[in-house]
């Protein structure tokens, strides 16, 4: 099934892996800037994100080149477009890391507040989901990708709990409300990184099995 | 330039217009739910969003069909992929409207707070940008699309001011902090709708002129 696909996608795949690595690094840096209250580190994130934007443009070109050179048939074409769609998700992860870095900058400029342990564990879980989605892509492992889809609901719950806790902190200590709002925004941004990891997992399933599971759960939930 | 493209894209274009109309409607409904504190209206938004998800899947299929039937060359292919990318943006606008509706539900359940007039004008500007991006797509008007790119910076500034004001409100009236946090989240979501309208405008320029302006400003700003 991947015989035809392999030469076609080599360039694109390599670019995706570079993008994925850059996204993991930028996200880790943004979160480190939050933890260490390091405004300088936070500033680097916007710069690093430009490299991801450049890779995104390169993916666009490589996809066009692959299609033009190989004139792939429907199944392969579907797979190439799925790979392109992974690049779209990774580009957004870069943007989200930039948002987190902006919160880090603001947090570093204000009175320090303790970071909730739940935020730390949410950050770890989301980084692990992103890594796992990229590993599933490298391994072309639809089963691993499928396992990821089930982790997103837990992240949503964790985000809700974090927001509730932050609202409680604001009510009790209005003086630190600006910081708590940034913690809420960081949680929101992390939750969206998990959404993109989920999208990538869906695209991996499409690449490997040719099965489109996009929106499947949401649509099934209402049909049932 | 559009001769070859026209038959190729008729189905896809029609689907995009249906998606665009659905996105404008769902966003208006979510904002009305905020204004009128109408939890029931807010609940409908998640349901309406499913229709957008369905259209998104149809676009994927129509794009594959168009490419398979016509085996387009590089320029046309680039245009088709740009149209597909518009669908990705519209699908996200649906998600953002759903986020706004969630805030509307929470706001309806709490002590009423006055909506800042700046939020109303931000909502109007963002809705106007979305409409204009879709009109530029229908008219295949790269100039109109280009004019849109310049409006995004103003939206970012408005969002910043709204957040500052909300933080001020929280400091002065901690009892309404939960509501103010939801106003901040609504402003964030509106700002992201404007980002997607900007992306659509960039894709319109790509469709009409074959010019890729994606990330161009951000990359140029750093190069300069």
CB-based burial of residue A78 (10 Å sphere; 0-12 exposed, 13-18 middle, 19+ buried)?
A: buried
Q: What are phi and psi of B2, to 5 degrees?
A: -100, 0
Question: By C-alpha distance, which of B147, B155, B28 is closest to B94?
Answer: B28
At B149, list the tokens: 């790119």
pLDDT at residue A82 tops 90: no
CA A89, distance to chain mean position in Å, is 7
pLDDT at residue B201 is higher than 80? yes
CA–CA separation, B151 vs B126, rounded Å? 9
Q: Does residue B3 carry a pLDDT above 60?
A: no
pLDDT of residue A133: 97
Lowest mean pLDDT among A19-33, A210-224, B171-185: A210-224
| More confident of the two residues B60 and B22 | B22
Q: Min CA distance, A84 vs chain B (Å)?
A: 10
Render pLDDT for B67-122 as a digit per residue (tens, 0 to 9).
Answer: 877 777 767 788 788 888 999 999 999 999 999 999 999 999 999 999 999 999 99
DSSP for B25-51 reads HHHHHHHHHHHTT-HHHHHHHHHHHHH
Query: A28-58, pLDDT tens digit by residue?
Result: 999 999 999 999 999 999 999 999 999 999 9
φ, ψ (nearest 5 deg) of residue A211: -100, 125
Interchain proximity A68–B56, CB inside 8 Å = no
Under 8 Å between Cβ of A98 and A30: yes
Q: What is the pLDDT of residue B51?
A: 95
Looking at residue B2, its pLDDT comes to 47
Chain B contact residues (CB < 8 Å to A): 47, 50, 53-54, 56-57, 60, 63-64, 67-68, 71, 73-74, 77-78, 81, 84-85, 88, 163, 166-167, 170-171, 174-175, 177-178, 181, 184-185, 188, 212, 214-215, 218-219, 222
**Per-residue pLDDT band at A193 (split at 50, 70, 90):** very high
pLDDT at B131 over 90: yes
For B127, residues 6+ apart whose C-beta sits below 8 A from its C-beta are: B24, B27, B28, B31
Give the distance from residue A141's alpha carbon to the nearest chain B alpha carbon, in angstroms. Answer: 23
Q: What is the pLDDT of residue B11?
A: 82
Residue A214 confidence (pLDDT) above 90? no
Locate the chain B residue with the closest alpha carbon to A196.
Answer: B92
Q: Cα dihedral sign for B162, B222, A88, A193? A: negative
Interval B28-68: pLDDT, tens: 999 999 999 999 999 999 999 999 999 999 998 888 888 87
| Contact between chains at B68 and A73 (C-beta distance less than 8 A) | yes
**pLDDT tens digits, one per residue of A117-161:** 999 999 999 999 999 999 999 999 999 999 999 999 999 999 999
Contact B88 A88 (CB under 8 A): yes
For residue B220, what pLDDT is reported?
Answer: 72
Place of tokens 């300088």: A40
Q: What percent of chain A has pLDDT over 90?
A: 69
Chain B residues within 8 A of A78 when measuring between CB atoms: 64
Question: Contact B85/A88, CB-based, under 8 Å?
Answer: yes
For residue B224, pLDDT beyond 80: no
What's the rounded mean pLDDT across residues A191-208? 94
**Average pLDDT in the A20-29 region?**
98
CB contact under 8 A, A56 and B88: no
- Residue B164 makes CB contacts below 8 A (sequence gap 6+) with none
Yes or no, beta carbons of B170 and A184 under 8 Å apart: no
Q: In this structure, are residues A142 and A204 in contact, taking their beta carbons and an 8 Å threshold? A: yes
Q: What is the band of A212 on the pLDDT scale with cuts at 50, 70, 90?
A: confident
Q: Which chain B residues have a beta carbon less than 8 Å from that of A187? A: none
Of B46, B171, B200, B224, which to mutate for an interface test with A (greatest number of A Cβ within 10 Å)?
A: B171
Among A48, A78, A224, most B C-beta atoms within 10 A, so best to mutate, is A78
Question: Residue A71 — φ and ψ, nearest 5°?
Answer: 40, 60
pLDDT tens per residue, range A111-124 = 999 999 999 999 99
Mutation choice for B interface testing from A44, A159, A174 by most B CBs within 10 A: A174
Q: DSSP letters of A101-155?
A: HHHHHHHHHS---PPPHHHHHHHHHHHHHHHHHHHHHHHT-HHHHHHHHTTHHHH
């Amino acid at each position: 099934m991947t015989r035809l696909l392999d030469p076609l996608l080599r360039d694109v795949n390599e670019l995706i892996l570079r993008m994925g690595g850059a996204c993991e690094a930028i996200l880790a840096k943004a979160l480190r800037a939050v933890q260490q209250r390091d405004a300088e580190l936070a500033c680097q994130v916007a710069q690093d994100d430009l490299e991801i934007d450049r890779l995104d443009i390169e993916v666009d070109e490589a996809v066009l080149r692959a299609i033009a050179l190989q004139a792939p048939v429907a199944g392969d074409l579907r797979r190439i477009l799925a790979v392109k769609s992974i690049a779209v998700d990774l580009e957004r992860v870069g943007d989200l890391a930039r948002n987190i870095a902006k919160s880090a900058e603001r947090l570093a400029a204000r009175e320090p507040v303790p970071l909730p342990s739940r935020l730390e564990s949410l950050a770890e879980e989301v980084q692990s989901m992103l890594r796992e989605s990229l590993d599933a892509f490298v391994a072309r492992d639809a089963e691993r990708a499928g396992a990821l889809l089930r982790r997103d609901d837990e992240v949503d719950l964790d985000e809700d709990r974090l927001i509730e806790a932050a609202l409680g902190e604001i009510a009790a200590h209005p003086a630190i409300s600006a910081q708590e709002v940034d913690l809420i925004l960081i949680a929101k941004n992390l939750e969206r990184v998990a959404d993109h990891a989920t999208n990538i997992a869906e695209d991996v399933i499409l690449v490997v099995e040719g099965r489109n599971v996009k929106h499947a759960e949401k649509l099934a939930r209402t049909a049932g």
